[in-house]
Amino acid sequence: MASLQSLDVRNRSASTAVPPSVRKDLEVAKLIDVSKCIGCKACQSACMAWNDLRPDVGVNSGIYDNPENLGPAAWTVMRYTEHEEAGRLEWLIRKDGCMHCTDPGCLKACPSPGAIVQYANGIVDFVQENCIGCGYCVKGCPFNVPRISKADNRAYKCTLCSDRVAVGQSPACAKACPTGAIVFGSKESMVDHAQGRIKDLQSRGYDKAGLYDPQGVGGTHVMYVLHHADRPELYSGLPNNPEISPMVALWKGALKPLSMIGMGMALLAGLFHFVTKGPNEVTEADEENARKLKGRDAA
Amino acid sequence: MTTSTEKVAVVRDTYTRYNPSERANHWLVVVCALLLMLSGLAFFHPVFFWLTALFGGGQAARAIHPWIGVVLAISFTFMGIRFFRQNIWTKEDSEWMSHVGDVINHREDKVPEAGRFNAAQKLVFYVMFWSVVTLFLSGLVLWQHYFGDAFPIGLQRFAGLVHAVMAAAMIITMIIHIYAAIWNAGSVRAMTRGPVTGGWLWKHHRRFLREEVGGRK
């Protein structure tokens, strides 16, 4: 995706300046109601169609997941889990893809200025022309979403159809979903909508139904309604308490200023040592001592 | 008519501090380390990102950095083997280190005599050795193009942290190492040209001079 002039940028990777921020944009969100999903993959097809992506034809691995995993040309993938609960089989189908975190680990980890941007509406977008292909976004992401293309060494993932959203359209997946399992709107209205769905599910025996909007990453702009919100990991390993890894937080946080101070101190220490103590030069007396030593030993 | 160098040669004894192959080896490591530092700093902190321009842009810098690392690891291995024996830590080195305040304040009369390498130089050697080992291993894990999918994510994150910490340690050590060479006049010439005077050895590596003189009998 290219950076979009019609969307204000809130956050920009590897940039020290504060981006323009006088306007307040409406935060958007996509809500995926897992309980309404029938696993038809219309969202996958719509994603491929709108974004003009054709992942390589794979092989049947015996499960419905196809392609089996996210890829540079597969930005969303349905993940199917067969789960038995109280003697009943439940088919838990989760549409996997970028969660558009409020505190995005990819953006924090990215070393290339402007390769990852977060728009004021909450969408996190990769700007491929600025991407250097280092793969740090992969390490930063708590959801295992970014994929680096072997063809061009650039990172790809769901854009939340930022190009559509910028002109007032909903994402292609939401547009295509035949059951209304994917809905799109302001984050506030989506949370509201989810509450209605959760009440409904709870009245039908799913007393642990709830909203997945993990606060460890500041909340997300893709949220799930889960029948088993107490166990998100049931849904193909959706993380229970996702957060930016403390190792990445240290590497991309405190270590940066600390290292800069360390290097600067070393340089300054050298400079001031030199201007106060001067060079340590060999004197004629040293040469004389060396000659004497040699003479004595030779004698 | 004699040139100034010939005069020096006549008046002063000179000793070969570093032979041509030691010097070549050292400078190959230097070139690699500087290129790695410049490209690595670009990936480490946004204020240095412009340094990628020296390598032809971000993608090119990302692609070349690990290959330079491989060259450094190989050339440092040879240097490590070359200088390993002379860098073994001894009791005298601990004694020397306790006088480091005298060293930096030019009170050399109070500092114990040093061999071919003094304790501070040995510390530089150890920091460099462990930096190169850990930077090479963590660098392999971080080498997205070839090993992007080869290691578990926890290890990748750990490698990123370790790579940055050890690189910072190595850069700080390089700054100290380079400054020490500038400060101790004659050191740069020893590593660029080879020779030092007897007086230089008397001043900085007296025990080594005694051994040299003894051996020349």
Per residue in B194-203, pLDDT (tens digit) is: 999 999 999 9
Give domain limits for chain A: 9-244, 254-298
Does residue B42 sit at the A interface (CB-CB below 8 Å)?
yes
Rounded CA gap, A282 and A8, in Å?
64
Give the chain B residue whose CA is nearest to the CA of A155.
B144
> SS3 for B1-37, per residue?
CCCHHHHHHHHCCEEECCCHHHHHHHHHHHHHHHHHH
Enter the ipTM.
Answer: 0.93
Q: Which residues of chain B lie closer than 8 angstroms to A289, CB-CB? A: 199, 202
Domains of chain B: residue spans and CATH:
4-85+93-216 (1.20.950.20)
Q: Which residues of chain B lie closer than 8 angstroms to A105, CB-CB? A: none
**Which amino acid appears at position A111 of this protein?**
P
Give the chain A residue whose CA is nearest to the CA of B43.
A111
pLDDT number for residue A7: 81
Q: Which of B157, B198, B202 sits opposite A247 (nearest CB)?
A: B157
Q: How confident is the model at residue A298 (pLDDT cuts 50, 70, 90)?
A: low
Q: How confident is the model at residue B10 (pLDDT cuts 50, 70, 90)?
A: very low
Top-confidence residue, B77 or B9: B77
User: Is the domain covering A9-244 a CATH 3.30.70.20 domain?
Assistant: yes
Q: Which residues contact B210 (CB under 8 A, 6 or more apart)?
A: A293, B113
pLDDT number for residue A4: 59
pLDDT number for residue B217: 44
Token pair, residue A106, equals 């990819």
Give the dihedral of Cα atoms A288, A292, A295, B1; nearest 10 deg.
10
Residue of A116, A141, A284, A287 for testing the chain B interface, max B β-carbons within 10 Å:
A287
What percent of chain B has a predicted confidence (pLDDT) above 90?
89
Contact A289 B202 (CB under 8 A): yes
pLDDT tens digits for B163-211?
A: 999 999 999 999 999 999 999 999 999 999 999 999 999 999 999 999 9
Contact present, A173 and A78 (Cβ < 8 Å): no
Does residue B113 sit at the A interface (CB-CB below 8 Å)?
no
What kind and span of H or E run contains A282? none
Please give the biggest Cα pair distance in chain A: 107
Q: Which of B144, B202, B217 sits opposite A290 (nearest CB)?
A: B202
Residue B142 to residues A102, A141, B6, B186, Cα–Cα distance (Å): 26, 15, 52, 40
Question: Which residues between 149 and 208 in chain B have a beta carbon less than 8 angstroms from any beta carbon of chain A?
Answer: 153-154, 156-158, 160-161, 164-165, 168, 171-172, 175-176, 179, 182-186, 197-203
Handedness of CA A140, A142, A144, A147 (dihedral sign): negative
Q: How confident is the model at residue A296 (pLDDT cuts 50, 70, 90)?
A: low
pLDDT tens digits for A234-256?
A: 999 999 999 999 999 999 999 99
Contact present, B29 and A100 (Cβ < 8 Å): no
Residue of A143, A148, A280 for testing the chain B interface, max B β-carbons within 10 Å:
A280
Q: Which of A15, A262, A267 sits opposite B46 (nearest CB)?
A: A15
pLDDT tens digits for B111-164?
A: 999 999 999 999 999 999 999 999 999 999 999 999 999 999 999 999 999 999
- Catalytic residue, chosen from B65, B163, B177, B204, is B177
Q: Which of B59, B164, B202 sits opposite A132 (nearest CB)?
A: B59
Give the chain B residue whose CA is nearest to the CA of A278.
B183
Rounded CA gap, A217 and A223, in Å?
12
B65 is catalytic: no
Q: A80 forms bridges with which residues in the sheet?
A: A93
> How many residues are present in chain A?
299
Rounded CA gap, A296 and A298, in Å?
5
